[in-house]
Structure 1
Amino acid sequence: MDFLLSGISSVTIPQLIMYAVGIILIYLAIEKGYEPSLLLPMGFGAILVNLPLSGVLNQTLSGIGETQGIIQWLFNVGIEASEALPILLFIGIGAMIDFGPLLSNPIMLLFGAAAQFGIFFTLSVATLLGFDLADAASIGIIGAADGPTSILVSQIMNSKYIGAIAVAAYSYMALVPLVQPVAIKLVTTRKERLIRMPYNPVSVSKRIKIIFPIMVTVIAGFVAPMSVALVGFLMFGNLLRECGVLNSLSETAQDSLANLITLLLGITISFSMKADAFVTWQTLLIMGLGLVAFIFDTIGGVVFAKIINLFRKNKINPMIGAAGISAFPMSARVVQKLAIKEDPTNHILMHAIGANVSGQIASVVAGGIIISLVSRLL
């Protein structure tokens, strides 16, 4: 009984706060349906790693020596030592993506690039607020709304705030339907949101769909070598999808592999959510900066579309630019929903999907560029 009471009495206020954080994440996953495959394991993991003398972490016990905790082991092997978990997840993501809408309208590639503006803007702001360059770069990548990329960049940059960054990245991925409409309406008029874009897709051959992932990987390797792991595994997954001779592997990557890695990644990243590292004023600041990055990524894509319209006869609905973030396919659906709200007959979903898959590529390339630039400056 004394042993049980000693465990309860050793709980600290920051640990109690982390229990509350874990419960909130679980609530958002179950009741609100916000990224349940990630927020639920992260929330439960946050509780596990903050229990006194938790068995999921390495412990040194008298008479026994050091014991190895499963979550700490997974973190050390799957994220810290090799970044394997977030990288492997990209095989499944690549296998899910159809680049056809993008290849039939290549101008959408530009929106993926433009919608990374918030990353570099927030990196600058975070630096001015006193974060060192590596941490500022890790915080900025939250704007891509791409959890695996955020985890990978913050780990490679050896950021002290990987837990807060991961929670912010996945939280804003989940909040795309709430945040993006506000940001879009902030910089567009109703007349602009009513612009119609007929969809006349160009037929894309199987050969082009096979060449595309190979070509993107090679170009990324020359332009941003540090992005090869991310881009390469994303494109390898897409090649499995498009080659036509590995259907069972493609289906496994989309289903079993993606689900397993997502499950392990969610609970493993909770290792970085220990109270002593997570319950700080910097965490709140990072959440705020992550929101700034996400909003400015959205605005960057929309404003870029408006600039292009100055030189085009056939206008682009500027909301398409907002789909240039990496949150696929949620962002494309948000854009379509806004278009339908303004005009029930205005269907721009396929254009938005083209920009959205472009954003998936652009976010991982941006992550590689940031890693390369920061590593040279440090």
Structure 2
Amino acid sequence: MLLFGGFLVKNLETFWQYTGFANALPEHFVMLGIGILFIFLAIKYEFEPLLLIPIGFGMLIGNIPFSEGLRIGIYEEGSVLNILYQGVQQGWYPPLIFLGIGAMTDFTALISNPKLMLIGAAAQIGIFAAYMASLQLGFTPSQAGAIGIIGGADGPTAIFLSSKLAPQLMGAIAVSAYSYMALVPIIQPPFMKLLTTKNERLIRMKRPREVSQTEKIIFPIAGLLLTCTLVPSALPLLGMLFFGNLLKESGVTKRLADTAKGPLIDTITILLGVTVGASTQATEFLTGDSVKIFALGAFSFMIATTCGILFVKLFNLFLSKENKINPLIGNAGVSAVPDSARISQVVGLEYDPRNYLLMHAMGPNVAGVIGSAVAAGILLSFLA
């Protein structure tokens, strides 16, 4: 009986050593709290729920404490999570996301008013400002380039670039990028109101011209040849973006376009979100560098928003009265599609209930998607 009792106690002790309670560190509870916060914000306030819920739940999965050697952690080679994470580490998921984005995107606003492309380009200044700031904080050039891309507010691009330049910082960069994408409704409006006058907010833009189907078909082909000939290193992202758009606009590949913008992008979003969230394992994630990355991401995002707005104000000095641009669409130059364009609409309606800016804001918004990918290609070309 005593022998059996001793055997049972030993088994219970062994079992206890494998429980999460025995392996828990204070850092695990911090990350579990952050994961629950992400889920709360997504459900309560609908902050990018399609992103924050998978990422938040991934944080819970990645921060359940466990004993090493069980091959269940995301950083343990051969584990299921580690295999799924290869799509992030090797940069497989972002191009597939871009394929779906291309199949969902209507470039009509940009085609009808090409000068709006300049707003999307101006907003990318935030990327290079954060790159220089990161260098000043002691990051290597490759790490600084990966951190800077957060200012584009484009999660897939941030993951793609960090997988090539700074894989060890990928978790912090990805979570930072998606966090600021979700916080667009909070971050951008104060800058939009601060940097514009009442008269500027009331500017009514000319209705966009009609765009023919032929123009819509030519655009992805011409866009691919122009951007990727200039910056070949952006080909994985822009190639898939424009291909997805051609599937949509050709009119003869509806099934492929529906697959790309539906089941495919939904599946990849789930895998990407959960694995990125799980990569925030407390022992790997909670470092001083992660704090710096979040601060630099905020700086980059604010600079991008500011530059987009100020560029419109400067551009208006050279435009006739009937062609002036409402600077409230300057914030849409960051590529958080379509949230930043919606914010342009919401803020504009506060000052003029009949001034609908969404159709205009989508121009710089989709230009921002292209611009952030081009910026990533530029950084990759001289930092890889």
> Is the pair's TM-score, using the shorter chain for normalization, greater than 0.5?
yes
In the alignment, does 2:89 pair up with 1:80?
yes
**What is the CA-CA distance between 1:88 and the residue it aligns to?**
0.6
Q: Which moved more, 1:262-271 or 1:230-239?
A: 262-271
Contact 2:31 2:59 in 1 (8 A): yes
Contact 1:134 1:159 in 2 (8 A): no
Which of the numbers 295, 314, 318 marks the counterpart of 2:327? 318
Contact 1:135 1:160 in 2 (8 A): no
SS in 1 for 2:168: coil
> C-alpha deviations, 1:67-90, integer Å up to 9, x for none?
8311111112x1223x11111111
> C-alpha deviations, 1:108-135, integer Å up to 9, x for none?
1111101111110111111101111111
C-alpha distance in 2 between matches for 1:103 and 1:56: 49
Number of corresponding residues: 366
Contact 2:89 2:167 in 1 (8 A): no
SS in 2 for 1:182: helix
- Paired position in structure 2 for 1:37: 50
TM-score (norm 1): 0.93
Aligned 1:226-375 pairs, distance under 5 A: 226-314=233-321, 315-375=324-384
When residues 159 and 59 of structure 1 are mapped into structure 2, their CA distance, relative to the original with a 3 A threshold, is closer
> C-alpha deviations, 1:330-375, integer Å up to 9, x for none?
1111011111101112222211111111111111111111111223
Q: Which moved more, 1:327-336 or 1:186-195?
A: 186-195
- Counterpart amino acid of 1:371? L
When residues 59 and 172 of structure 1 are mapped into structure 2, their CA distance, relative to the original with a 3 A threshold, is closer
When residues 43 and 124 of structure 1 are mapped into structure 2, their CA distance, relative to the original with a 3 A threshold, is same
Structure whose CA Rg is larger = 2
Superposed CA RMSD in Å reads: 1.6
C-alpha distance in 1 between matches for 2:191 and 2:170: 26
> C-alpha deviations, 1:6-50, integer Å up to 9, x for none?
222221122222212221222222222212222222222222222
> C-alpha deviations, 1:180-204, integer Å up to 9, x for none?
10121222122211111131x2222
Q: Which moved more, 1:236-245 or 1:277-286?
A: 277-286
Aligned 1:108-187 pairs, distance under 5 A: 108-187=116-195
Q: Which moved more, 1:10-19 or 1:234-243?
A: 10-19
**What is the CA-CA distance between 1:271 and the residue it aligns to?**
4.2
C-alpha distance in 2 between matches for 1:346 and 1:176: 21
Unaligned runs of 5+ in 1: 61-66
Contact 1:58 1:68 in 2 (8 A): no
Unaligned runs of 5+ in 2: 1-11
Give the fraction of aligned pairs with identical amino acids, expressed as a percent.
44
Contact 2:75 2:82 in 1 (8 A): no
Q: Which moved more, 1:269-278 or 1:287-296?
A: 269-278
